[in-house]
Amino acid sequence: MLSTAELNALAEEIRERLIEVVSQNGGHLASNLGVVELTIALHRIFTTPKDAIVWDVGHQSYTHKMLTGRRDRIDTIRTEGGLSGFPKPYESEHDAFVAGHASTSISAAMGLAEAKRQRGDDGYVIAVIGDGAFTGGMAYEGLNNAGKARGNLIIILNDNDMSISKSVGSVANYLSEIRTKPAYFRFKDSVSHLLERTPMVGRQIKDALVSSKSKLKTAIYHNTFFEDLGFDYLGPIDGHDIDMLCGALMRAKRISRPVLIHIATQKGKGYQKAEENPGAYHGVSSFDIEKGNPDISNEDSFSTAFGRALVGQAIKDPSICGITAAMKYGTGLQFFKHKYPNRFYDVGIAEEHAVTFASGLATGGLRPVFAVYSTFLQRCYDQIIHDVALQHAHLVLAIDRAGLVGQDGETHQGIYDVSMLQSVPTMTLYSPATYRELRHCLNACLYGEEGPCALRYPRGKEDGRLAFLDDLPCEDHHLFPGKKKGGKVVLTYGRIFAEVYPAAQKVGASVLKLTKLFPLGEDVCELLCSYKAVYFVEEGIRSGGVSERLASQLAESGYRGRIHIRAIEDGVIPQASVESTLAHLGMDEAGIARFLEQE
């Protein structure tokens, strides 16, 4: 058994390795540095996989991976074929549940705990959720249910007062209130502890006190929100003190009701630059440890092009509002916030709320734009149908990270949005391939369309090969004729056009590039019908995509030519660079050229 000093030395060693590896591979540095002691304490008191740890979002699980047999492979994290940056049960039996999206841990942990109870397994299930993830609605659905849980369930609220940016909202304020009065809560906690340890009657007195409405209770046993929901609350605890953490975890193990342990940690702990600027070190690409990571949030990308374009529109139109679900920098909305703080809303990690809130703004006469990553929009399917489309509310979804995203892997790929939105009544969707097209599409969504509108664009920068598009008019679709009239035609859209166009030139095929994906005019189908073979290339899942829909329309219209579809057949696309993934999918220039050679 390691001594406290040895455990602290282990924490230092792990920190050094984390900084080294993330500086090379990129990753979620600040979040991982903040939970080193917590992870060590968890693995000291609990034994995985018998006990299960459910990491919320999972971006902070690197130390857990190092302590569960993956230390010698940690240098492969987030690389193709290497360890995932998120928990993956297929990677290790110590990863209890898939994660990547926020606020799911309490529900998952409760399910796992209940399953253990039903199966007579006395293992514990521990959910570790950050204060950022704690702003998501699903966390409350979980808490509401879990307060009555009968399994061995422990929730650890890792409170560092930060989401990616500063945590927002009333819950954040409430947590900060608790954090700033630790002595008061510890006094309350020690009264509760004393009662628990008093032989025979202590527990009964405590239970009677908890369920009573007496003034005595409010005097000595003031409830936190969590106790009102049925949890035993332990905290706030210094999340960098391994002894204290172990003590709290041991105690939680002995309590028969669900327990919530509230720990206070520092995001970025142990690397000064990250401590000073935890937001900039939340998710980083490779960096120089000595110099640190320059702030790249203003660097040229589709996100910043969008952010600047929105400011350009908002100067002329005071009804435009900008909304983010905790992704201000990721989506380029920092410019809008800076210029129009009163029209900017960071709603926390609450995408479903953001959509319905935007619909409320629209119904009330404003022009809301919700900027959101494609992958996180997935949880808003019902809100988009029920709260937006059915009342034809005119709002704009600016869908960032559409298509392949690279190193975050399967949980973050933006490959489902086209299929999802295609089934939404009255939805309009644009897919710009360049910054200029993005500006055009944003303008069209704001002023040229009615009802729910969206534009989708990829992670990263414009492709230099597409500079020639800047000399062409921005149209809903554009035909680039091939060598032979009526020969082969390729229909495509978005970033992948940069691969398709040169491939088509090689084989002499025409290319029909869509900028507006739906609704589509009759003319598109008519045009395709004039070719002897139609090829589709789509950087999105095949099922329910544009290719499938148009192929079925062609078939219905009696088209007799050949139809070939290249789209993503298997929706689970692991981590790798976008270039490498495109090559694997046969969607790089060479792969598409081979595809077009098929007769």
Ligand X SMILES: CC(=O)[C@@H](O)[C@H](O)COP(=O)(O)O
Ligand Y SMILES: Cc1ncc(C[n+]2csc(CCOP(=O)(O)OP(=O)(O)O)c2C)c(N)n1
So which residues are the catalytic ones? 267, 351, 379
In sequence order, which residues have a C-beta less than 8 Å from that of residue 4 and are 6 or more positions away?
Answer: 242, 243
Q: Which residues are known binding-site members for thiamine diphosphate?
A: 59, 100-102, 132-133, 160, 271, 351
Which residues in 328-387 contact ligand Y (CB under 6 A)?
349, 351, 376
Q: Name which of 349 and 369 has its Cβ closer to ligand X.
A: 349
Question: Is residue 283 at the binding interface for ligand X, with CB under 6 A as the rule?
Answer: yes
In the complex, the smallest distance separating the C-beta of residue 164 from ligand Y, rounded to whole angstroms, is 5
Q: Name which of 273 and 401 has its Cβ closer to ligand X.
A: 401
E strands within 325-460?
Answer: 344-346, 367-373, 396-400, 428-430, 453-456
* Closest CA relative to residue 106, chosen from 50, 63, 77, 149: 149
Other Cβ atoms less than 10 A from the Cβ of 2: the count is: 12
* Closest CA relative to residue 374, chosen from 384, 386, 360: 384
Residues 145-184: x/- map of binding to Mg ion (CB under 5 A)?
A: ---------------x-x----------------------
Q: Name which of 59 and 436 has its Cβ closer to ligand X.
A: 59
Q: Using CB distances below 5 to 8 A depending on partner kind, what does residue 459 bind out of ligand Y, Mg ion, ligand X, none? A: ligand X
Other Cβ atoms less than 10 A from the Cβ of 203: the count is: 14
Which residues in 59-78 contact ligand X (CB under 6 A)?
59
In the complex, the smallest distance separating the C-beta of residue 283 from ligand X, rounded to whole angstroms, is 4
Other Cβ atoms less than 10 A from the Cβ of 270: the count is: 18
Contact predicate 179/264, CB 8 Å: yes
- CA separation, residue 495 to residues 223, 267, 517 (Å): 54, 35, 13
In the complex, the smallest distance separating the C-beta of residue 252 from ligand Y, rounded to whole angstroms, is 20
- Phi/psi class of residue 495: alpha, beta or left (left: φ > 0; alpha: ψ in -120 to 50)? alpha
Q: Which of 330, 332, 409, 458 binds ligand X (CB under 6 A)?
A: 330
Which residues in 33-72 contact ligand Y (CB under 6 A)?
34, 57, 59-60
Q: CA-CA distance, 359 to 550, in Å (whole number)? A: 30
Q: How many residues bind Mg ion (CB under 5 A)?
A: 5
Q: How many residues bind ligand X (CB under 6 A)?
A: 9
In the complex, the smallest distance separating the C-beta of residue 99 from ligand X, rounded to whole angstroms, is 9
Question: Is residue 105 at the binding interface for ligand Y, with CB under 6 A as the rule?
Answer: no
Question: Is residue 102 at the binding interface for ligand Y, with CB under 6 A as the rule?
Answer: yes
Q: CA-CA distance, 240 to 37, in Å (whole number)? A: 5
Question: Is residue 98 at the binding interface for ligand Y, with CB under 6 A as the rule?
Answer: no
Q: Which of 27, 111, 130, 278 binds Mg ion (CB under 5 A)?
A: 130
Residue 23, SS3 per DSSP: helix
Q: Name which of 59 and 542 has its Cβ closer to ligand X.
A: 59
In the complex, the smallest distance separating the C-beta of residue 34 from ligand Y, rounded to whole angstroms, is 6
